[in-house]
Chain A
Amino acid sequence: MKSQPLSSPFSVMVHKEIADHIRSWRFIVLIGLIILTFVASMYVSLGNIRSAMGNANDPDRSFLYLKLLTTTDNSTPPFHVFLSFLAPLLGISLGFDAINSEQNSGTLTRLLAQPIYRDNLLLAKFVSALIMVSVLFLVLTLLMTGGGLVLTGVRMEPQELLRILGFLLICVIYVSFWLSLSIVLSIRFRQAATSALTAVGIWLFFTVFYQIVVNLLIRSFLPDPSFLTQDQILRYNELILDILRIAPNQLYTDASTTMLMPSVRSLSPMTMEQMAGAIPAPLPFKESIMIVWPQVSGLIGATVACFALSYYLFMRREIRS
C-alpha cells in the first residue's frame, strides 16, 4: 500500500539532478576552468601583495584578503573580473539543455506522467545547478581565506569576511541570471545546440558589442560637449551609465567592485562639490551594501523575470516526444 511520502518529489528531483551534474564531464571541465582561474589569479596577487599592502596612497591597503582577490600586476585580470565572463559560461552550460535534452531523449513525457507539478521540474533544474555553483564558490573562497591565513598569518577582519561572502552572493546571483536565461532558451528551442548558441550569443552581445552599440548610438545624437554646461555633461554621463547598466555583466562588475574595494563611494560620476571634503577612506560594510543594492536587485529582478518566462512557456505546453 502507498505510505506517507518520505521525501517530496521536488527533493527527489533535486537529488537526481545534482547527482547528474556531479557525474557529468561538463561540470568537471567547468570546475577545472574556474579552479585554474582562481589559482592563476591567486598566484599573481600573492606575488604582488607586498607592494599592494605597502602602497600608502591606497585607502584599502589594510584589507589583506580583499586585496588577495583584487590585486594584479596587469598580466592577468583579477579574479572578480575573470568571473564576470566565466560565470555566464557556467550558468549557460548548466542550463542550456535542461528541458530540451529530456524532451529529445523521451524522458520528459515519462517524467511528467508522474504525479509531479511542472513548475517543480523547472525549479529542481534551477535549484540543483544553483546549489552546485554556490558550493563551488564557497569552497573556493574558504580555500582562499584559509590559504591566506596559513601563508600570511594575518588576522581577518569581520568586515572582510562579510564583504567576501557578499561578493560570493553576488556571484551566485549573477550565475543564476544566466542559468535561468539558458533554461528559458532550453524550453524555447528543441535543439540543445540552438539554445546553447543563442545563450552564448546573448552573452557575447552583452560583454563585447553592447558598449560599442550604445556608444555609437549615443554619439550620433549627443550634442557637442563643448557647448554643454557642466551639469548637462553630468546628466548625459549618467544617462549613458544607466543605459550601460541594462547589461547584466555591468551590474555584476559594479556590484563586485564595490564589495571588494571598500573605498569605492559611488558608481556614478561625482562633481567636485560632492568630492570636496571627502577623506579617501574605506566605507563601512553597510554603506557599500547600500551602494550595490540597486545592482543586486536589478540582477535578481532579471533572474526572476527569466524564470517567470520559463514558467509561462512551460506550464501549458503540450508535452510530446
Chain B
Amino acid sequence: MKDPIIQLKGLTKCYGPQKAVDNLSLDIYKGEIFGLLGPNGAGKTTTILMMLGLTDPTSGSAFVCGHNATNNPISVKRKVGYMPDSLGFYDNMTALENLIYIARLNGLNENEILKRGTETMEIVGLSSALHKKTSTFSRGMKQRLGLADVLIKQPDVIILDEPTLGIDPSGVREFLTLIKRLSKEQELTVLLSSHHLHHVQQVCDRVGIFVKGKLLAQGNIDTLSGNLFSHEAHVVSFTLADVIPQPWSLQQELEQWGSVKQITINKKTIEFECRQVITPALVRFFVEKGYDILGVHQKDYGLDEIYQKYFEDIN
C-alpha cells in the first residue's frame, strides 16, 4: 500500500463545549479524488482549516505531504492549493493581476509568471476575461479563477471547499469534468467537500460521510451501499395498464415463489421485495397471464439513499 498523502489522526476540534470535529482519522492517497460529504455544519470546513494550519486542533494531528500542518503550515501550504468556499478577490485588480499576485507570493520565477498566468487562465477557460476587473465577475467565473489560483502554484494536493456552491447545473458539470481531467493529467490528489451528493458521486473515487463531526463511513459508492443495504431485499416495482383488483387472484401463486418476500399492491403498481433478482421471471409471468406492463423499475441504491440512511441513524 502506498503512503497516504493526507493523514489525519484523532483530529478533534472543540468550540467551547461543542465538538465540531470529533476524533477524526482519515487517510487519503496520492492521485485519488476524495469527497468529504456532509450536511452544513458537519465540520467539513473546520477539518480543512486544520489541514492547512489555519486553525489549531484541540487534539490529534494532521499530516499533509509529510508535514505537520499545525507546526509547519508553511511547508504544507507550499504543496497544497486551497480554494475556500467563499472566494474573494481584490476587486480593484484584474483577474490576471490577482493571479499573478498569488504566483509571486509563492515565489514563482518572475520571468515565467506572465506566461504561466495566461496558460492557467486558458486551462480554466477564462482567457477572454484576462484583463477584466474581478468585481465584474459572475459567481461561476470567480469559481474558475479560484481554481486557476490553486493551479498556478503547481500543487500536489488541491483542497476544494464546496466548489460547486452557487454555480448553475451545466457550470457544475463542466467544473467537475475539469477537476477530474486535471487530476488525471497532473496526478493531483483532490479533496473535495460538498453537501451535494450528486456532484460528489460524479467525480469522486472515494467518499467519506461526515456528520456532526464524525466520519461515519468511507469507501467508494458501491462499498458504501453494499455495507448498508446488504441485509435488505431487492425491490422491483411494476406498473401495469389496468388497476389491479383487490383481492388479487394471482397473489397467492406468487407468494409461493420461494424468493418473494412481500408483495405490496397500490392501484396500478405492484412492488416486490425479493431475496434474489427475479425481475425477468416476474416479467415473463405477467406476460403469460396477459397483463400489459407499462414499466419495470429495479431500485438501485445511490448516494441519496446512503445519505438518507446515515442521517436516519444519527437522528
Q: A residues bordering B, Cβ < 8 Å?
A: 2-9, 12-13, 16, 20, 23, 105-117, 316, 318-321
Contact = CB atoms under 8 A, between A and B. Distances in A.
A117 B105 CA distance: 11
Contact of A2 (B77, B146, B154): B154
A113 B88 contact: no
A110 B78 contact: no
Given A106-B86, A107-B89, 19 more contacts: A4-B109, A6-B107, A6-B109, A9-B106, A12-B101, A13-B105, A105-B89, A105-B90, A107-B90, A109-B82, A110-B84, A113-B54, A113-B81, A116-B74, A318-B49, A318-B55, A318-B56, A319-B49, A321-B86
Contacts of B45: 320
A16 to B, nearest CB: 6
Contact of A114 (B49, B102, B146): B102
A78 B174 CA distance: 66
B52 interface: yes
A5 B55 CA distance: 27
Nearest to B88: A106
B149 interface: yes
A123 B86 CA distance: 26
B92 A116 contact: no
22 contacts: A3-B108, A3-B112, A4-B109, A5-B107, A9-B106, A12-B105, A105-B89, A107-B89, A109-B82, A109-B88, A113-B54, A114-B77, A114-B102, A114-B106, A114-B153, A116-B77, A316-B56, A318-B55, A318-B56, A320-B55, A321-B85, A321-B86
B100 to A, nearest CB: 10
B73 to A, nearest CB: 8
Contacts of A9: 104-107
A115 B54 contact: no
A321 B88 CA distance: 9
B287 interface: no
B80 to A, nearest CB: 8
Nearest to B53: A112
A25 to B, nearest CB: 11
B55 A319 contact: yes
Given A13-B105, A318-B54, A319-B49, A106 B84 contact: yes
Contacts of A16: 101
B110 interface: yes
Contact of B107 (A2, A108, A318): A2
B3 interface: no
B88 A105 contact: yes
Contacts of A106: 84, 86-88
Contacts of A114: 77, 102, 105-106, 153
A107 B88 contact: yes
A286 B108 CA distance: 48
Interface of B: 45, 49, 52, 54-56, 74-75, 77-78, 80-82, 84-92, 101-102, 104-110, 112, 146, 149, 153-154
B159 to A, nearest CB: 9
A95 B48 CA distance: 30
Most buried by B among A4, A16, A114, A321: A114
Contacts of B146: 110
A229 B85 CA distance: 72
B9 to A, nearest CB: 21
A222 to B, nearest CB: 49
A4 B87 CA distance: 29
A268 B54 CA distance: 50
Most buried by A among B56, B85, B88, B149: B88
A2 B153 CA distance: 9
B193 to A, nearest CB: 14
Contact of A319 (B54, B74, B78, B91): B54
Nearest to B13: A318
A23 B92 CA distance: 9
5 tightest CB-CB pairs across the interface, nearest first?
A106-B88, A5-B107, A318-B55, A113-B82, A3-B109
A2 B87 CA distance: 26
Nearest to A11: B104
A110 B147 CA distance: 11
Given A110-B149, A320-B45, A115 B109 contact: no
Contacts of A320: 45, 49, 54-55
A13 to B, nearest CB: 7
A6 B89 CA distance: 24
Given A106-B88, A109-B84, A321-B88, A117 B108 contact: no
A4 B107 CA distance: 7
B132 to A, nearest CB: 17
Given A23-B92, A106-B88, A319-B55, A113 B77 contact: yes
A6 B110 contact: yes
B87 A115 contact: no
Given A13-B105, A320-B49, A115 B78 contact: yes
A16 B90 CA distance: 11
Nearest to B80: A113
Contacts of A6: 107, 109-110
A18 to B, nearest CB: 13
Contacts of A7: 104, 110
Contact of B87 (A20, A110, A116): A110
Contacts of B87: 106, 110
A117 B80 CA distance: 15
A12 B54 contact: no
Contacts of A20: 90, 92
